[in-house]
A and B are shown apart, each in its own frame.
Chain A
Amino acid sequence: MYPYYESDWSVLPPEANRRFNPAFNMATIKQVVNEAIERVRMPTPMRLRDLIRQIRAARTAAEERSVVNKECAYIRSTFREEDSVWRCRNIAKLLYIHMLGYPAHFGQLECLKLIASSRFTDKRIGYLGAMLLLDERQDVHLLITNCLKNDLNSTTQFVVGLALCTLGAIASPEMARDLAGEVERLMKSPNAYVRKKAALCAFRIVRRVPELMEMFLPATRSMLSEKNHGVLITGVTLITEMCENSPDTLNHFKKIVPNLVRILKNLILAGYSPEHDVSGISDPFLQVKILKLLRVLGINDVDTSEAMNDILAQVATNTETSKNVGNTILYETVLSIMDIKSEGGLRVLAVNILGRFLLNNDKNIRYVALNTLLRTVHVDSAAVQRHRATVLECLKDPDVSIRRRAMELSFALINSQNVRTMTKELVNFLEKADPEFKAPCSSSIVLATERYAPTRRWRLDTLLKVLVAAGNYVRDDVISSTIQLITESPTHQGYVALQLYRALKEDLQNRQPLIQVGVWCMGEYGDLLTSAQADDDLQPPTEEEVIEVYQRVLWSPQNTVTTKQYALMSLMKLSTRFTNTISKIQSMISTFRTSLHVEIQQRGVEFSQLFGSHNHLRAGLLERMPPLDDGGTGGKDPNQLNGEADEEVLFGSGSPDAEEDEAIAGMSNTNALLDFLDLDVINPATRPSLASVSPPGPLTSSHSQPVMTNNTNNQDLLDLLGLGPLGPPTIPATENNNGLQPPAMPTPLDNGNLDFLAGGEGLFAPPVTDNVILEKQLPQMTAYEKDGLRVIFGLETPSVGSINPDTLTIHVTATNNTLSSMTDFLFQVAVPRTFQLQMMSPSGTTILPNGRVTQIIKVSNPSKNTLKMKVRLSYVIDGTPVNDQIEVNNFPVDIWD
């Protein structure tokens, strides 16, 4: 039987002889038979509903995962084997698995195979899979475009329908271009089922690729003469999209207004039609679409608006409002009336409808009313004012959506007559509001008081209430505008200081802004505080009581460094205003000479020196602030939250007052401090020249260049204190520490700097006048601001005698004001050929929320042309890539002078 073994079986020992191993023989036979059977009969794959049952029966997530993984592995293997019999079932299972959140991308190509099948069942599941698994980023698009093209030419309307539906959902610009012709042909099909789907496909195509609009125009026009509501509504949708895209098309379609009016009239007046009735209203979907198109056509056009006045009035008065459907139509009608050039009477009618909405029991209707009133408040303020009480009532609604709308509307309703009552309500609201409301609400109250405050005293009181109520959520603009207001109100300073002192004696947790304003005022007006007129029954505090507050503030671990900087500065000021606690103040300040935080330590050391050898200068240095200039704070970024400000330096705003403000704000930079001390000896030529036109922005933070900054501080301080002559700067300031200094630059005073940090002796050492490195205050300009990304150029012009007199150094700072990180940030620049451009590598490619990336660009301009710049930006936010390109032409003219 096995002749192959015959020859040698006798020479092998029995145990090695396979012929004599019966187990082996049986196993071989079984295996061969089994394999044969397998090959003949593929097992039927599990049915979809059995899989769903199994997954639902899983008791733990791990169990579910194992069922899914097993099935996925099986499905993959059938895909590999090109099993076409069960492909449809397997894809259906995969789609279910995909919905549970498991990866299913490996099914994409199989979906295309299903689509290519001739069976309708396969196509139906295949297209469903394509819509779920592909999106327009996929490379398989070329393949699916071909499938779609075939099916768009099918004779079965449902196959065409599936293809149109898929195209409408996932059309990419390329697909839109390739298939627009087919869609246009189908829009003229005699079959209404195909026509309506083709119209919506055209709508998506126009949306993706507006320049394809032209070809659909003829087919679109005829759609309005249809009886079929499906065709009508899709036609109206398409026309609306086209009109919103191009003013020419808008003008072109103005002549269809009578048609639209007729259709709408028929809908209202026609009797009950069971097919399109929704609780007594005939086809609300179509009515709303027509009303919206009328609005688009009637905006800013008196004649067209005239033609629709009547029908709008008819809809507004004839619509039954007991159900949501009726209100849906009324809502759309009101929007149209308010947007077009409608008659006065009609507008009154519309606002009255909204008034009724506000009183409706249905929360949804109330929300819509608030929303719409907000849009109409600028059109007809008096009419909206009548509903003020109701709006204020909505501030107390438990629903956050309604509260937000009510808050915005309340601010829009404030005027000089009602500011007291409105602000009172809003401050009450602020106290109890969710954190997300506190920052915008407090800033808005501040703005409102600025515009409408009846008296200064009232305004100050309101600001203090805001500081107390909003706590840490107060934005920095509130702090600075409060301080500014106080400096401008000499008659109220004592009163305010006393109020703040009382507020600071209360619980201070989570109220950094309040503490900052509080200690600032107490420092400035300490003398007025202790001698203030007692109002009510409270006596002004004694000096010791005031110092106690400082002790709490300075040693509380909850307070931020910024707050402590405010407090130290303020305490220092008190040393010239108080008489019998000076030694106490001195000992408190000297404890900070060993603070672990370098900024605070610097203050501790410097201020202690003022008590020592320079005691005679102290009174002059710590004089009261002059009133701050309004312009200095106006341009501040209101999005800053407390605590971020210590790196956001205001030098760019140019006016010395703004810098003083900044210094007072306890900022880290000693330059500012010295400016504030009013010993400004910085060469006036280095002052920012264009600053008044450019909004202020962040300067490179001192944290990133500790050595350099301290050096310059050191030098400046020496110079400013008048202990050494300051020549004109000979070398442009360099702010970077990555080797970009010109080679001729002297070695920075590392040693002196360290000495100063260690013992404080270096601080007042004789200056090394040869090596003056002056950190210039850079004029700044905002180069780009969009979608939360802001790019600021700090312009460092070459100074006299520098090595490269033609080279402008631009310090680019990109900040992210959104809540998401920007990744892959790329900043590119192009300049005309006469310029030479050198770009240093950026500090990073990811900008965290509220973070920044800096980069240095050097532009040399030997031919002294006007600088123009093209800037290209790209980054990825929330997974979406953003690209933008702008031209920056607003460089100041005198940069090369």
Chain B
Amino acid sequence: MMQFMLLFSRQGKLRLQKWYIAHPDKLKKKITRELITTILARKPKMCSFLEWRDLKIVYKRYASLYFCCAIEQDDNELLTLEIIHRYVELLDKYFGSVCELDIIFNFEKAYFILDELLLGGEVQETSKKNVLKAIAAQDLLQEDEAVEGALHDIGLL
């Protein structure tokens, strides 16, 4: 089971954090800081895996963003790389060639997409199409509400 996923920039700024296990805020911050410094210090040619405490850290850099996952001892590291890649593909499809700024300004959307791919630290959907369909349908629900609200405001409803 994946224990957490972190997205951070080359400058070490956290862009997204998803925790599937309960830790106090303070510990989360400590872990995040520690991993960001360790990973940023690694050279680009090095392998994507780190042994850290009793966890395996799998990370990969896409453009200016690092995607970093902590998995348990009996999880498949290579598959975790595939999960990261799948997530990047989904972001790319959703935003249309995604860049760091998209994730900064629409961080909630990035979370929503992740929540349709993983649940409780495990993969819940292996079809890209299904994930995007679910997100689009929920976005539509939100838009309907917005229109409804606006009509209300001007007294048409």
Contacts and interface: CB of A to CB of B under 8 A. Distances in A.
Given A125-B108, A286-B126, A363-B45, A172 B22 contact: yes
A528 to B, nearest CB: 47
A164 B118 CA distance: 12
B156 interface: no
Nearest to B17: A99
A286 to B, nearest CB: 6
B46 interface: yes
B88 interface: no
Contacts of A237: 122-123
B77 to A, nearest CB: 6
A398 B46 contact: yes
Interface in B1-28: 1, 14-20, 22-27
Interface stretch (A142-150, A249-257, A326-334, A642-650): A326-334
A120 B49 CA distance: 39
B26 A283 contact: no
Contacts, number: 173
Interface in A339-375: 363-368
Given A201-B119, A230-B126, A99 B48 contact: no
A400 B38 CA distance: 12
Interface in A194-213: 196-197, 200-201, 203-204, 207
Interface in A224-282: 229-230, 233-234, 237, 275-276, 278
A9 interface: no
A39 B88 CA distance: 47
B120 A201 contact: yes
Nearest to A118: B145
B29 interface: yes
A182 interface: no
A878 interface: yes
A597 interface: no
Interface of A: 49, 52, 56, 92, 95-96, 99-101, 103, 105, 119-121, 124-125, 128, 131-132, 135-137, 156, 158, 161, 164-165, 168-172, 193, 196-197, 200-201, 203-204, 207, 229-230, 233-234, 237, 275-276, 278, 283-286, 288-289, 292, 324-325, 327-328, 331-332, 363-368, 398-402, 404, 878-880
Contacts of A230: 124-127, 130
A272 B130 CA distance: 18
B138 A120 contact: yes
Interface in B27-86: 27, 29-30, 43, 45-51, 74, 76-79, 81-83, 86
Given A165-B115, A286-B126, A332-B76, A364 B108 contact: no
Given A324-B82, A363-B47, A158 B141 contact: yes
A409 to B, nearest CB: 14
A49 B105 contact: yes
A327 B108 contact: no
A332 B78 CA distance: 9
A879 B82 contact: no
Contact of B49 (A124, A292, A364): A364
B111 interface: yes
A508 B16 CA distance: 50
Given A99-B15, A120-B141, A229-B127, 10 more contacts: A121-B141, A124-B108, A137-B22, A158-B138, A158-B141, A170-B22, A200-B122, A237-B122, A278-B82, A880-B27
Given A233-B123, A275-B127, A324-B82, A366 B47 contact: yes
B50 to A, nearest CB: 6
A328 B79 contact: yes
Contacts of A365: 78
A365 B81 CA distance: 12
A398 B45 CA distance: 9
Nearest to B128: A275
A56 B112 CA distance: 23
B107 interface: yes
Contacts of A168: 20, 119-120
A283 B78 CA distance: 14
Nearest to A232: B126
